[in-house]
Amino acid sequence: MPDAPAGAASPGGPPAIPRLALGLDWGERRIGVAAGDTLTRTARPLGTVPAHAGRPEWPALERYFREWQPAVAVVGVPYNMDGTESRLTQPAREFALAVRDRFGVEVIPVDERLSSREAEDILRRSRASGSRRRRVRAGDVDPVAACVLLEQWLRAPAAQPASE
């Protein structure tokens, strides 16, 4: 039996409740930010928060949380290509815990392998098609990578709104 579309009434229950989410692509120098929701299952890049040795400029990140009021934050956690932990895995997990504690939202870690490469490909295709005029810079990749991570989670069955 196919799943009902997100936001549709479930059999015998009230309509499903959509949730707003922020995607965070953690890095040692920058954190990409994207926003999306479980109703449309789409996301869009928002911007970049500077980080210093992996520590974000918290007031800049707080502005996104205040403006978007997400129910959940999806945080990219880096692994090696073989699935083992990299030197950045633990710092990314610590960042995820800090986000949970600081903003009081549910935090969902997602595997971010190849998300930056996919983001670079998206940006290159945009430039080649003429929809992007300037060259791709390092800081351009982070919010698009956050969007890739967030859409990966939004398309997973566990992300779908539950009926209450």
Condensed to tens digits (0 to 9), the pLDDT of residues 136-148 reads 566 677 888 899 8
Residue 80 lies in a domain: yes
Quick: pLDDT tens for 81-94: 888 888 889 999 99
Cα 71–76–77 angle (5° rounding)?
Answer: 130
Task: In whole angstroms, give the CA distance from residue 164 to residue 57.
Answer: 36
What mean pLDDT do residues 8-37 have? 77
Residue 76 lies in a domain: yes
The domain containing residue 56 runs over which residues? 20-157
Residue 12 lies in a domain: no
Task: Give the global pTM.
Answer: 0.77
Residue 145 lies in a domain: yes
pLDDT at 120: 62
Residue 1 lies in a domain: no
Task: In whole angstroms, give the CA distance from residue 94 to residue 99.
Answer: 9
Counted domains in the chain: 1
The DSSP secondary structure of 130-146, one letter per residue, reads TS--SPP-HHHHHHHHH
Residue 150 lies in a domain: yes
pLDDT at 140: 75
Task: In whole angstroms, give the CA distance from residue 122 to residue 128.
Answer: 10
Residue 130 lies in a domain: yes
- Beta strand spans in the chain (E): 20-25, 30-37, 42-52, 55-56, 72-77, 106-111
Contact 108, 75 (CB under 8 A): yes
Residue 136 lies in a domain: yes
Task: In whole angstroms, give the CA distance from residue 89 to residue 77.
Answer: 6
Quick: pLDDT tens for 25-80: 998 999 999 999 988 888 999 999 999 988 999 999 999 999 999 999 999 998 88
pLDDT at 124: 65
Quick: pLDDT tens for 93-124: 999 999 999 999 999 998 876 666 655 666 56
- What's the CATH code of the domain at 147? 3.30.420.140
Tokens of 164: 């209450």
Task: In whole angstroms, give the CA distance from residue 75 to residue 108.
Answer: 6
